[in-house]
């Protein structure tokens, strides 16, 4: 068991959430720095606004690329958008929704600002696709996988 299990986090482990959000919106990634380029892990792009590795610029570019990919392949079904519990998830969701709306993409997401783990999104896509036998297929996209 971790020694901090069940204990309040010590002050040196706490993050400045206001600074994290400020960095998300204000930092511009340096394309010359490989660490600040878009890169994908097991569940999407990962990084931290503190290091310029997960910023609004990243989310804008990724989401626009998804829109262009869908258009280029004639994908017309809804896009299922997941959201996790990380501190920057709400700003990330807002950015993605702005791009998706500008591209007239129908979005399916959790009601009332709720959270949706990746398996829930995967299940929702499978259920939607099964209900559309032979029709338009949905394509999953989760951009809100961040680390602080």
**pLDDT tier, 132 (very low <50, low <70, confident <90, very high otherwise):** confident
pLDDT confidence band for 129 (50 / 70 / 90): confident
8-14 long-range CB contacts below 8 Å, 24 or more apart? none
E-strand ranges in the chain read 40-41, 44-45, 79-81, 107-108, 139-141
The pLDDT, as a whole number, for residue 74 is: 92
Examine residue 75 and state whether it is found in any structural domain, yes or no.
Answer: yes
Radius of gyration, CA atoms only, the chain: 17
CATH number at residue 45: 3.40.120.10
- Inter-axis angle of helices 89-102 and 56-72, nearest 10: 40
Do the Cβ atoms of 109 and 141 come closer than 8 Å?
Answer: no
Q: How many other β-carbons are positioned within 10 Å of the β-carbon of residue 35?
A: 11
- Give the 3-state secondary structure of residue 105: coil
Residue 4 covered by a domain: no
Does a structural domain hold residue 66?
yes
The reply to whether 11 falls in a domain is: no
Q: Per the domain annotation, does 147 fall within a domain?
A: no
2 inside domain: no
Strand partners, 80: 108, 140
Q: Which domain holds residue 90?
A: 17-27+37-141
What is the share, in percent, of the chain residues with pLDDT greater than 70? 86
Residue 12 lies in a domain: no
Orientation angle between helical segments 89-102 and 17-26, nearest 10 degrees: 30
Query: Within a domain: residue 21?
Result: yes
What's the number of domains the chain is made of?
Answer: 1
Of the listed ranges 39-48, 63-72, 80-89, the one predicted with least confidence: 39-48
């Amino acid at each position: 068991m971790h020694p901090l299990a069940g204990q309040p986090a010590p002050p040196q482990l706490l993050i400045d959430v206001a600074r994290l959000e400020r960095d998300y919106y204000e930092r511009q990634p340096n394309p010359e720095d490989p660490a600040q380029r878009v890169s994908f892990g097991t569940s999407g792009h990962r990084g931290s606004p503190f290091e310029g590795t997960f910023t609004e610029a990243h989310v804008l570019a990724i989401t626009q690329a998804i829109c262009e990919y869908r258009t280029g392949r004639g994908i017309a079904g809804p896009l299922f958008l997941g959201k996790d519990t990380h501190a920057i998830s709400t700003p990330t969701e807002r950015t993605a929704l702005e791009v998706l709306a500008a591209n007239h993409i129908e979005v399916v997401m959790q009601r009332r600002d709720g959270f949706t783990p990746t398996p829930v999104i995967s299940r929702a896509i499978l259920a939607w696709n099964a209900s559309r036998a032979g029709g338009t297929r949905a394509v999953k996209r989760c951009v809100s996988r961040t680390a602080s």
